[in-house]
Structure 1
Amino acid sequence: MFAKLALAALLSAAALPAMAADCETTIEGNDAMQFNVKEITVDKSCEKYTVHLKHVGKLPVAAMGHNWVLTKQADMQATATDGMAAGADHDYIRPNDERVIAHTDLVGGGEESSVTFDVSKLSAGEEYAYFCSFPGHWAIMKGTLKLAG
């Protein structure tokens, strides 16, 4: 009887990590201006969420740089336009832009960057967009993010 209880306890403990919310994701950007993930769902049980951006291409940051920028869907185009004007020195993000919820650094081929943000900044039912703010990329390199759970 003890062996069965011990085994049940071990199996229950082993299942806990699988039931816990996954509070991070990895997105790849390539030289064809594509993200490999089109939708991210963040579980509201996460206090913080981390996005890892990997540039799997070969081109340098000046030619084909990528970043990951999160805004409300309604703010995406204006944020991208303002980012273009901010220039490469600011990773194509207007400094102190309050519309930007989170963003990674701009990276070139073979480079990576990560960002962690407070999930409390998200609201259930709100539509969020993520995109690359490198000039000309945001119209193609984009996806949606939603809060669930």
Structure 2
Amino acid sequence: MKRRLFAFALLGLVAAPTWAASNCSTTIQGNDAMQFDQKSIVVPNTCKQFTVTLTHVGKLPKAAMGHNFVVSSTADEPGVVADGAKAGIDNNYLKPGDSRVIAHTRIIGGGESASTTFKVDALKPGQDYEFFCSFPGHAALMKGTISRAK
């Protein structure tokens, strides 16, 4: 009897990290109508790292309707987008080495997915952060807020 209880207890310990890990990630979809399916992401304070998977549910290729997922402070977003447009598609519409970018995926086309993982402590309490697509012209519609849970 004690062995069974111990085995169940161990099973619970093994299962706990899988459950906890699922809270430290999310999936967001982008489409051919230049829309994300989420406008807000709240990152649990229990997470040390957070993973976002972007899935492009449209059909158009990345050269025509590519999307990425970028995180920066709200104040930095216009500059990141402007500098990204100059950097071009080969740089995923992001200035190489841009320190204003907290996290980003590569540009993807219809039917593709990409993920990014970042340290949660990069999101400072009391500051405003956004996620957006840096493909030229997309950030006007494809954006939302990202914050740590309070």
Instruction: Report the TM-score when normalising by structure 2.
Output: 0.87
Corresponding pairs, count: 142
Match of 1:130 in 2: 131
1:53 counterpart letter in structure 2: L
2:134 counterpart letter in structure 1: S
How much has 1:83 moved relative to structure 2? 0.3
Q: Secondary structure at the match of 2:137?
A: coil
1:1-149 correspondence runs (5 A): 13=12, 20=20, 22-149=23-150
Distance change >3 Å, CA 16–CA 65, structure 1 → 2: same
Q: Counterparts of 1:17 and 1:114 in 2: how far apart (Å)?
A: 20
Q: Which structure 2 residue ranges, 5 or more long, are not aligned?
A: none
CA RMSD of aligned residues (A): 2.0
Q: Secondary structure at the match of 1:85?
A: helix
Q: What CA deviation, in whole Å up to 9, does each residue of 1:72-131 have, x standing for no partner? A: 011111110110011111000000000000000100000000001111211112110000
Q: Counterparts of 1:81 and 1:33 in 2: how far apart (Å)?
A: 18
Q: Counterparts of 1:50 and 1:19 in 2: how far apart (Å)?
A: 14
Name the % identity.
53
Q: Counterparts of 1:65 and 1:129 in 2: how far apart (Å)?
A: 19
Q: Secondary structure at the match of 1:74?
A: coil
Instruction: Report the TM-score when normalising by structure 1.
Output: 0.87
> Contact 1:92–1:134 (CA<8 Å) still a contact in 2?
yes
Q: Counterparts of 1:131 and 1:110 in 2: how far apart (Å)?
A: 19
